[in-house]
Amino acid sequence: MSDFLSVSGLRLSYGRTEAVKGIDLEVRQGAVVCLIGANGAGKTTTMRGLSGLLKTAAGSIRFCGEDITNAPAHKIARMGIRQVPEGRQVFAEMTVDENLSLGGLQVGDSADFRRRREAVLDRFPRLRERLTQHAGYLSGGEQQMLALGRALMGGPKLLLLDEPSMGLAPLFVEEIFKIVADLRQDGTTILLVEQNAQAALEIADHAYVLESGRITLEGPAAEVVNDPRVIAAYLGDH
Amino acid sequence: MLAQQLVNGLVLGATYALFALGLTLMFGVLRVINLTYGFYFSVGALVALWLARSVGLPIWAVVLLGGVAAGLVAVVVDGVLLTRLRRTKAGELPSLMVTLGAVLALYSLSAIWLGTEIQRFPFDFVDSSAFEIGDLRISLVQILIVCVTFALVGLLFVLLHYTRVGLMIRALAENEDTARLMGINVDAIVIVVSFVSGLLGGVGGVLIGLNFNAIQPFMGETMMLRGFAVIIIGGLGDIRGALIAGVLLGMFEVLTASYISSSAKEAVAFGALVLTLWFRPTGLFGRKEVKRA
Ligand SMILES: Nc1ncnc2c1ncn2[C@@H]1O[C@H](COP(=O)(O)OP(=O)(O)O)[C@@H](O)[C@H]1O
Ligand SMILES: [Mg+2]
């Protein structure tokens, strides 16, 4: 058992329909773990369970030695689990700068805050050019960078990335994966959900395959990528 | 005389704007149609009346404390009635029905307790002196009303745009789940928003009470309809729109009352509402929503 993030027997449901049916999952500190699966497999539901947006029906979640099962989402965020939600969810009517400030609320107006903000703006120079623009006017790729930057402002111990490449132009997809690779280099721990299984498996250390709310396969990414079932289901030439 | 009517209209409109501001804040951030809001208006006025009569506080303290009392009532009412509904994401209809039932109960309880006769501030409490410019009379109370309104509007603007709490309030208004992901304690922000909007409604009540020197428990009821008219005309959740629409409504009412008939006042307010919804469903000043790319 790793003492960083460990999930056991997690079940999550919407009313009477169970979307995640008892999964075990582990993320070691410094690792990039990817969770792949078809549309509707329960990836987003899992992420929302981890960040506390959904109440768990059963099972437990432990993070850094603490039981965070059913802890309120804002406490989980303050403990250092930062989610970049599916569809980016930037605050469209606020400026880029305000979005970043929201990510860094916890450190307030401190030296820490300014250092993180500089680091984020160095990582995403496009955001620096658009600081005073409303986030709603950014392109999809820029919004994704903002969503990532906002999460980094929180000084994450664990980043939950939910389909960061979704709906982006190919050039931006490449850029997003490059950023994830950079973050990995810097030692950031990441749980990455992707439909773009090929790219995700190339970048990850470890992989889980989710099908209809159950984990059907897991292992080192280098092995999973060569598994015939995975090749047939997710890595067909498309 | 027109100038006098415009001044009176501005004063009345300022209180409408203040009242509507609290309503639009509550609706815009908490996303509930909370019909108890009109009751906070009555609470402000009734508490002010009691403080003036029984405690003998001066006018500024009465305005302030009337508002604070209404804000506290708003926090309690929201906490008791709506917290559970919000947790279960119950939607708008249940909260509409719950607050409708609650506000009728609150009005009738306060009518039983305090009676329905119109009550007035003590003689001399309201300084009746005035500036006179030719035929134009501007009373100290009118000046007080306009100054308090503009001061509160200014403070609200500063709160929302230049403080951390304001940043969190605006985040919550846009997207509750994402606000939680930022580490925002939504329950705490809901309390702040309830308090501020209750305070705005309550101060509105005190000011109207001072303006007409007539107070009774049901005064919030007709005000609630005006509040809806103002925030719909101004564009839901739009602070600037509520401000302009409130002032315009007050002016139109005063002008209608003096040049047509005072019973045509309501026809003007709600005629304007219907016409607005007809031609500009997002309100007169409603910006187009910023679309997510
Ligand atoms: N808000 C919701 N209410 C009810 N069912 C939902 C909701 N969100 C997702 N689901 C269902 O839960 C299942 C898993 O969805 P999701 O976690 O979004 O899948 P993925 O992210 O892997 O595409 C799907 O069957 C979906 O229809
Ligand atoms: Mg998803």
Q: Indicate the residue type of A83.
A: Q
pLDDT score of B281: 78
pLDDT mean over A127-149: 96
Q: Indicate the residue type of A170.
A: P
| Gap between the Cα atoms of A158 and A2, Å rounded | 14
Q: Does ipTM come in above 0.90? A: yes
Please list, in sequence order, all residues whose beta carbon lies within 8 angstroms of the beta carbon of residue A58, skipping any fewer than 6 positions away.
A9, A10, A11, A22
Q: Which residues of A touch B166 (CB under 8 A)?
A: none
| Percent with pLDDT over 90 in chain B | 56
Phi, psi of B91 (to 5 degrees): 95, 180
Please list, in sequence order, all residues whose beta carbon lies within 8 angstroms of the beta carbon of residue A36, skipping any fewer than 6 positions away.
A43, A193, A194, A195, A197, A200, A201, A207, A208, A209, A210, A230, A234
Which of the residues B160, B174, B175, B182 would you substitute to probe the A interface, choosing the one with the greatest number of A C-beta atoms within 10 Å?
B182
**Sign of the CA dihedral with B26 first, then B28, B30, and B32 last:** positive
pLDDT mean over A100-120: 93
Length of chain B: 293
Q: Copy the structure tokens of residue A163.
A: 């389909």
To the nearest whole angstrom, how far is the Cα of B172 from the nearest Cα of chain A? 10
Q: How many CB pairs under 8 A join A and B?
A: 79
Q: Which residues of A touch B182 (CB under 8 A)?
A: 74, 77, 102-103, 105, 150, 154
Which pLDDT band, with edges at 50, 70 and 90, does B290 fall under?
very low
Which pLDDT band, with edges at 50, 70 and 90, does B282 fall under?
confident
Q: Which residues of B touch A72 (CB under 8 A)?
A: 180, 185
Q: What is the mean pLDDT of chain B?
A: 89
Q: Which of residues 41-100 of A touch B (CB under 8 A)?
A: 51-53, 72-74, 77-78, 82-83, 85, 88-94, 98
Of B167, B186, B292, the CB nearest to A101: B167
> Is the confidence at residue B292, as pLDDT, over 80?
no
Pocket test for ligand 1, best of A20, A45, A209, A215 (most atoms within 8 A of CB): A45
Report pLDDT digits (tens) over B198-250: 999 999 999 999 998 889 999 999 899 899 889 888 888 788 889 999 999 99
| Percent with pLDDT over 90 in chain A | 88
Q: Copy the structure tokens of residue A194.
A: 């992707």
| Gap between the Cα atoms of B2 and A210, Å rounded | 74
> Is the confidence at residue A111, as pLDDT, over 50?
yes
In 3D space, the residue among B102, B89, B118 whose CA is nearest the CA of residue B34 turns out to be: B102
Atom of ligand 1 nearest to the CA of A46: 17
To the nearest whole angstrom, how far is the Cα of B180 from the nearest Cα of chain A? 5
> Is the confidence at residue B293, as pLDDT, over 50?
no
Nearest chain B Cα to A147, which residue? B178
Q: Residue A214 in contact with residue A22, Cβ under 8 Å?
A: yes
pLDDT score of A56: 95
Residue A15: CB atoms within 10 A of its CB come to 5
Least confident of A148-162, B140-154, B277-291: B277-291
Q: Does domain A5-90+158-235 have CATH number 3.40.50.300?
A: yes
Q: Give nearest CA residue, ligand 1 atom 8.
A: A45
pLDDT mean over A107-125: 93
| Gap between the Cα atoms of B91 and B99, Å rounded | 13
Q: What is the mean pLDDT of chain A?
A: 94
- B13 vs B259, which has greater pLDDT? B13
pLDDT score of B291: 36
Element (H, E) at A169: none
To the nearest whole angstrom, how far is the Cα of A61 from the nearest Cα of chain B? 17
Residue B81: CB atoms within 10 A of its CB come to 18
Length of chain A: 238
- Ligand 1 centroid vs A19 CA: distance in angstroms? 6
pLDDT score of B77: 95
Half-sphere exposure of B275 (CA within 13 A, CB side): 7
Least confident of A135-144, B64-73, B179-188, B234-243: B234-243
Residue B116: strand, helix, or coil: coil
The residue whose two tokens read 């008939």 is B261
Q: What strand order describes the sheet that includes A206-211?
A: A81-84, A158-162, A189-194, A32-36, A206-211, A214-220
pLDDT score of B289: 45
Report pLDDT digits (tens) over A180-215: 999 999 999 999 999 889 999 999 999 999 999 999
**Which residue intervals of A166-236 are DSSP H helices?**
170-185, 197-203, 221-224, 228-234
pLDDT score of B270: 81
Which pLDDT band, with edges at 50, 70 and 90, does B162 fall under?
very high
Answer whether A14 contacts ligand 1 (Cβ < 6 A).
yes
Q: Copy the structure tokens of residue A82.
A: 């930062």
Domain boundaries, chain A: 5-90+158-235
Report pLDDT digits (tens) over B110-153: 989 888 889 898 888 877 788 888 888 899 889 999 999 999 99
- Ligand 1 centroid vs B14 CA: distance in angstroms? 48
pLDDT mean over B156-181: 96
pLDDT score of A126: 94
> Is the confidence at residue A47, as pLDDT, over 50?
yes
Report pLDDT digits (tens) over B40-50: 999 999 999 99
Q: Residue B273 in contact with residue B232, Cβ under 8 Å?
A: yes
> Is the confidence at residue B180, as pLDDT, over 60?
yes
Element (H, E) at A7: strand A5-14
The predicted model scores a pTM of 0.93
Q: Residue B227 in contact with residue B39, Cβ under 8 Å?
A: no
pLDDT mean over B25-34: 88
Q: Which residues of A touch B175 (CB under 8 A)?
A: 89, 91
Q: Is B48 exposed, middle or buried (0-12, 13-18, 19+ CB in 10 A)?
A: buried
pLDDT score of A72: 97
- B56 vs A115, which has greater pLDDT? A115
Highest averaged pLDDT of the listed ranges A228-237, B9-18, B132-141 = B9-18
Residue A58: strand, helix, or coil: strand
Which pLDDT band, with edges at 50, 70 and 90, does B287 fall under?
low
On whether any CB of chain A is under 8 Å from the CB of B188, the answer is no
